[in-house]
Amino acid sequence: MLTHIVFWKLKDHAEGADKATNLARAKALLESCAELVPGTHRFEVATAQPGHECTYDLVLYSQFEDAQALAAYQNHPDHVAIKPFIGAIRLERQCMDYTYPAP
């Protein structure tokens, strides 16, 4: 099982909208990718909770059967299509992929 986690910190204003609007749109776009490819076991998209000190605004926590399933997700046309918008609204991005337990 391969875990793929991505965090985004968003700009206060981008693409003609404020952070809250872009955050909601980005979350919906990511959620639309949840069932794009076979081998996806878990796909959670969440936003930072109001009132909590957080360093990032949006997170994707996902698990895939293997590296091939993750690659299929990353290269799927529907996923590729949302990258320009998310790239335009993000200030920072962090990503980590890992297997557990390690092989």
Average pLDDT in the 92-96 region? 98
Name the class of domain 2-99.
alpha beta
pLDDT tens across 17-48, in order? 999 999 999 999 999 999 999 999 999 999 99
Give the pLDDT band of residue 101 (cuts 50, 70, 90): confident
Percent of the chain, pLDDT > 70?
Answer: 98
What are the CB-based long-range contacts (under 8 Å, 24+) for 27-31?
27/58, 29/82, 29/85, 29/86, 30/58, 30/60, 30/82, 30/86
Going from N- to C-terminal start, the domains of the chain cover 2-99
Query: What pTM was estimated for this model as a whole?
Result: 0.93
- For position 102, what pLDDT does the model report? 67
* C-alpha gyration radius of the chain: 14
